[in-house]
Structure 1
Amino acid sequence: MTSTIIRLSVSDDIVSWFDSVGPILFYTVVFGLVFAGTGLFIGAFIPFITGDSLVFAAGLVAAANADSINIFVMVIGVGIAAWLGDQVGYTLGRHYGRPYLDNRQGKWLQKAIIKSDQFYDRYGWWSIVVARFVPWGRVIMPALAGISKMDYYKFFSANAVGAVVWGSGLTIAGYFTYSIPGVRSAVYIIALVVITLSVIAGVRTWRANRV
């Protein structure tokens, strides 16, 4: 309940930004925060301002100010920013995080790296999609995928799906919630179903690999 209250409060604050900054700067701030949330790891410290509440509120603002905010530009921009942020997180993990860990000593660390590599090789695709709906997960998982050298094309596709379902989906939800209040709840129910199906598929893959 407390978390929900915080998110709603943050959403209200974000909506009020528009009156102060105007349409162009609002686009810039929203896209920049979505990108920085995962690309610069800012979401680890301020998850509510760079996550669900931000993109949902962006949709609300677009609906309330249709004459100056284009919902199509907002939806596409949020999706691209979310995708780019994860791509940067993955790249930093792969090119800087992994070489650093490979040069560290310790059997426990090397075993942990091997297990992490195996996890992302088998279940990485699903974990990236599901992590999009978890505040801190969406920040950490791309970098860990890079550190574990998850196949680039698998990450690319999983990241694209997550960015569209989460970023673009919640922005559209905010837009329609302006006139249909029940839409937000419906979107989270859909997201829950997607996550559940992803987990089930992941468990089935894990069991199949054990045989």
Structure 2
Amino acid sequence: MDAFLEWITNNPSYAHYSVLGLACFEALIGIGLFISGALLLSVAIFLYAQQLLSIEVILALAFTGAVIGDQSGFWIGRWIGPAFHTSQFATRYRRHIDRTETLIRRYGWGAILVGRIIPAIRSIVPLVTGISEYSALKYIIFDLLAVGIWTTLLGLAVIGTSSLFAG
């Protein structure tokens, strides 16, 4: 981490890409299980505290990256949905999958919001929502709302935490 922060300090023109990329990668299915939101938060705090990026730029980039990651997961889920439902895994766990899909259809907006806020399931919820054939329009609207709330929380954490290190 220290080496990355030193590299960003020496190459500030890449700071934008680090925020956008980390926000996207932490939401992508598969990759998101290994990229922690704490890494994005740490980098955002550093960039803001060192005045390499303004909070507005950090939040705009984080919002964009998160939407790209979430939407990718949803549309991958829509694409693999039919094949997934006939897979050996789905056949073996049919009862659990049916229950999960029923919950998503009934409480989709809540699942999308909770999935965006909780890091452990952040990259899985969009995929499962897509597999469950949840309405694409509803998903887009609720995802934008959820990412907006998440971005606001990220901004509060960045400003609040960086103020601990100021003066």
Q: Contact between 2:22 and 2:35, CA under 8 Å: does it hold in 1?
A: no
| SS of residue matched to 1:178 | helix
The unaligned stretches of length 5 or more in structure 1 are: 1-12, 182-211
**TM-score (norm: length of structure 2):** 0.81
1: CA distance, partners of 2:120 / 2:163: 31
Q: 1:18: how far off?
A: 3.1
Task: Check if 1:100 corresponds to 2:100.
Answer: no
Q: 1:79: how far off?
A: 0.9
How many residue pairs end up in the alignment? 162
Q: Contact between 2:115 and 2:122, CA under 8 Å: does it hold in 1?
A: yes
The unaligned stretches of length 5 or more in structure 2 are: none
1: CA distance, partners of 2:5 / 2:47: 10
Structure with larger RCO (C-alpha < 8 A, sep 6+):
2
Structure 2 matches for 1:25-174, cutoff 5 A? 25-44=14-33, 46-48=34-36, 51=37, 53-66=38-51, 68-96=52-80, 98-104=81-87, 112-174=96-158
Q: Contact between 1:86 and 1:159, CA under 8 Å: does it hold in 2?
A: yes
1: CA distance, partners of 2:15 / 2:92: 47
Within the candidate set 9, 13, 36, 1:24 is matched to 13
Q: 1:42: how far off?
A: 0.8
Q: 1:113: how far off?
A: 4.7
Change (3 A) 1:118 1:171: same
Change (3 A) 1:173 1:112: closer
1:36-61 Cα shifts (integer Å, max 9, x gaps): 222252121x242xx1x133223322
1:126-178 Cα shifts (integer Å, max 9, x gaps): 01101222222111111000000111122112211221222342134213322
CA RMSD of superposed structures (Å)? 2.5
Q: Contact between 2:15 and 2:47, CA under 8 Å: does it hold in 1?
A: no
| SS of residue matched to 2:117 | coil
1:90-138 Cα shifts (integer Å, max 9, x gaps): 0001112x12124447866555554343221111110110122222211
